[in-house]
Amino acid sequence: MGVTDGVISSIAPTRPGTDDSGTEDSGTEDSGTGETGAGGTGMWLVPGLLDLQVNGYAGVDFNDGHLEAAGVGQVVHAEWQLGAPAICPTLITGPEERILDALAVIAAARRSDPMLRHAIPCVHVEGPHLSTEEGPRGAHDPAFLRPPDINELARWQRAAEGAVGIVTIAPELPGALDYIKAAVAQGVVVSLGHSAATREQITAAADAGAALSTHLGNGCALLLPRHDNQLWPQLADDRLAAGFIADGHHLPADMFVAMTRAKGVDRSVLISDSVALAGSPPGRYRTAVGGAVELSPSQRLSLAGSEGKLLAGSVSSLTQCLSWAIDIAGLAPVVAFQMATANPWRVLAGGAMAAEALGRGALRIGAPADLSLFQHDPRSGWIEARAVLVAGVPVLAGHPYAGKGPEGPHVAKPGVTADRSIGGRSK
Ligand SMILES: [Zn+2]
């Protein structure tokens, strides 16, 4: 594979014995995350990971009211080290001033550095138009929940210099349908979440243009009626893609597998929903997300006093989520990678960010050279980034291909491999 001026300029089949140390030999024929399998030892070259939901990372919290441009860069650089070239910073429920301030800081960071702009295709605002019911509202501060207001969206966009690309709302709130129509008309992707919506309300929201479910299976009541609940209509409606938090705590593996099968390979998106505490030791902390939280030794982050039941975000990166999806949930690697690359970009391409999203998350000539080379450790089950290119620029310390195996990297080429089965442990 060749890279010129930040874009993929050539792709050629692997020639056995070739050692092209300048750029990677990409083996389009053995595109084989499917054949390498979860227990393999191969290297996987994947295009353009994108995490649609990142509240913070590495000690930086996009929502603590103290965000600075340097912090935005810090999160992006941390994500690059983990193998994710792009993220959508996610702002949650809070006073409007705090949301506007954070949007302005992110906008300034994007303006100041073309690489940051490339790494942050848009911002996701999750809230404040969410359910006030206990359970559905999750960790969102009830003091700042409010009904949908399209004028507030306009103020967000002014502060963000137009970079708000996704808004999560609860579709049952008064005025939600008009809000969805107006937001979609402006090119914003509307996602449904933290909701107690009925089947009819979900269908009406999709009719109005909603295109995504936010962390499906979370942000809803702890107990749901078996037939008449919000999961089935969101799974069954092909107009809705769905994000899934694949951190091993938010969804049991069998539920995750069953839901991604129902949603389909092309409409399922892996997200981390990571928070600033990612990478911190177990203990009690105070966060902007929901006040006092507890991080357990098993890396489960929940509201203090909820006995681990009310989760307060994840402390996993998207790369760790991929490890879990492949090694614990048993997704074929090519399927898991598609859910973290091509699919999230396709979600963005449905909105005004289309121009920035088109062609990304794909291994094809002319696409931006956002490439991550992952190595799978069959003993630990983890995958680790060995090389990461962002717009053609190597962003990991050391030799970019130091970890290249003797067979050369396998290529996870979303959507073209024969093995598109989803999960399960029978394989
Ligand atoms: Zn949430």
Each residue's pLDDT tens digit, 52-99: 999 999 889 999 999 999 999 999 999 999 999 999 999 999 999 999
CB atoms within 10 A of CB 379: 6
- Residue 275 CA to ligand 1 center (angstroms) comes to 11
Ligand 1 centre distance from Cα of residue 116 (Å): 24
Report how far ligand 1's centroid is from the alpha carbon of 273 (Å).
Answer: 7
Handedness of CA 53, 59, 62, 68 (dihedral sign): negative
pTM of the model: 0.87
What distance in angstroms lies between residue 215's CA and the mean position of ligand 1's atoms?
Answer: 7
Q: Is residue 8 part of a domain?
A: no
- The one-letter amino acid code at 355 reads A
Cα-to-centroid distance, 122 and ligand 1 (Å): 17
Which pair of tokens denotes residue 265? 């390979």
How close is the Cα of 219 to the center of ligand 1, in Å? 6
Kindly report which listed range (6-20, 24-38, 286-300, 360-374) carries the lowest average pLDDT score: 24-38
* pLDDT class of 36 with cuts at 50, 70, 90: very low
For residue 27, is it within any domain? no
Is the pLDDT reported for residue 159 higher than 60? yes
Q: Give 220 Cα–ligand 1 centroid separation in angstroms.
A: 10
Tokens of 339: 């859910």
| Cα separation values, 133 from 141, 308, 338, Å | 11, 19, 34
Which residue from 73, 11, 85, 6 is spatially nearest to 49, judged by alpha carbons?
85
Task: Check residue 24 and give its pLDDT.
Answer: 39
Output the CA 402–ligand 1 centroid distance in Å: 38
Q: Where are the alpha helices (DSSP H) in 25-67?
A: 33-36
Task: Tell me, in angstroms, the distance from the centre of ligand 1 to residue 320's CA.
Answer: 19
Domain assignment present for residue 318? The answer is yes
Identify the sign of the CA torsion 412, 416, 417, 423: positive
Q: Is residue 315 part of a domain?
A: yes
Assess if residue 136 is contained within a domain: yes
Question: Do the domain assignments include residue 266?
Answer: yes
Query: Which residues, including other chains, have CB under 8 Å from residue 31's CB and lie 6 or more apart?
Result: 334, 410, 411, 412, 413, 416, 417
For 23, the token pair is 């750029």
Element (H, E) at 372: strand 371-376
Evaluate whether residue 160 is within a structural domain: yes
Any idea which residue has 């291994």 for tokens? Answer: 363
Q: 286: burial class by Cβ within 10 Å (0-12, 13-18, 19+)? A: exposed
DSSP symbol at 335: H
d(CA 123, CA 29): 36
Distance 53 CA to ligand 1 centre (A): 9
Q: The CATH number of the domain where 221 resides is what?
A: 3.20.20.140
- Residue 421 CA to ligand 1 center (angstroms) comes to 28
pLDDT in tens, 366-414: 999 999 999 988 788 889 999 999 999 999 865 433 333 323 333 333 3
Query: How many other CB atoms are there within 10 angstroms of residue 135's CB atom?
Result: 16
- Give the domain range for residue 53: 49-362
Average pLDDT, stretch 248-274?
Answer: 96
Tell me, in angstroms, the distance from the centre of ligand 1 to residue 194's CA: 6
Q: From CA 330, how far away is CA 258, in angstroms rounded? A: 12
| Inside any domain, residue 395 | no
Q: How many domains does the chain have?
A: 1
Using the mean position of ligand 1's atoms as its centre, give its distance from the Cα of residue 126 in Å: 7
Please give the distance, rounded to the nearest whole angstrom, from the Cα atom of residue 415 to the centre of ligand 1: 28
pLDDT tens for 104-150 read 999 999 999 999 999 999 999 999 999 999 999 988 999 999 999 99
- Ligand 1 center–CA 152 separation, angstroms: 20
